[in-house]
Amino acid sequence: MTDYANPSDLPADLQGAVIDLLLRLADDELIMGHRNSEWTGLGPILEEDIAFSSMAQDEMGHAQAYYQLIHELGGDDPDTLAFSRGPRQYRCAALVSLPNERDWAFCMMRQFLYDMAETVRLAALEHSSFTPLAQLARKLRGEEKYHLMHGRSWVLRLGNSTDDAQARLQAALNKAYAYALGLFEPTGADETLVQAGICPHEDDLRSQWESAVAPVLADARLEVPAHAKPVYGGRVGRHPDALKELLDGMQVVYQIDPTAKW
């Protein structure tokens, strides 16, 4: 299979599909990072507050790296992509848009489910035929590994703590699971991307993810919701209203003067 060593090596008919993939990766990271940053100052304990805020910055850094790659493929620059698109142009899964609602159990569960998906996806992208993406995946691996260790630790501890904590965590899983499945929403770009060796099929990633999260959830005394119906729509720009509220807040300063130099 052909490897594409540089952004300029991608044939025109592949470029749109790759940009679509990168937008999904970037938007997931940016919105997840933004949601997590809302915990800054409210974390359950100082050390966790600092750690979780730092991880939120990591996610935003990853988003910026993906946006930069889009820019190198002829797309807008990272700031324009982050601050000048409305919800319809965002490609993140609904999971990351959901409000925190000051529910630590939900946020830790979401983080765990999300980071496991990231881990599975990045491991596959390390073998992407699009070399710049493969290199980026290898670069981000360490930070994502740490994020997963963190989320997993919280899930295991809350699940094996008091009945109250366990019940809240189960409720969080019941709510988050269908949304997490939405991370693997099929898209129109899938066939093109798979055939060109850019990334594996979303269905393959989903089954890898399911087998990876199941043992941890079992160890946390949790039951995976049966027959959860994946929440799709995010990858084609249909989002919960919460995303619009988030973007309004995130973009307000930039939109006062998009040409301002920072």
* Measured distance CA(113)–CA(157) in Å, rounded: 15
Rg (CA), the chain: 18
Report, in Å, the least distance between residue 168 CB and other proteins: 17
User: Interface with other proteins by CB under 8 A: which residues?
Assistant: 45-48, 50-51, 54-55, 146, 149-150, 153, 157
Rounded least distance, CB 231 to other proteins, Å: 30
Sign of the CA dihedral 23, 26, 29, 31?
negative
Q: How far is the CB of 50 from other proteins (least distance, A)?
A: 6
How many residues would you count in the chain? 262
Residue 55 or 113 with smaller CB distance to other proteins: 55
CB nearer other proteins, residue 38 or residue 48? 48
How far is the C-alpha of 156 from the C-alpha of 168, rounded, in Å?
Answer: 13
Which one, 42 or 252, has the nearer CB to other proteins?
A: 42
How near is the Cβ of 55 to other proteins at its closest, in Å? 7
Give whichever of 14 and 107 is closer to other proteins, judged by the CB atom. Answer: 107
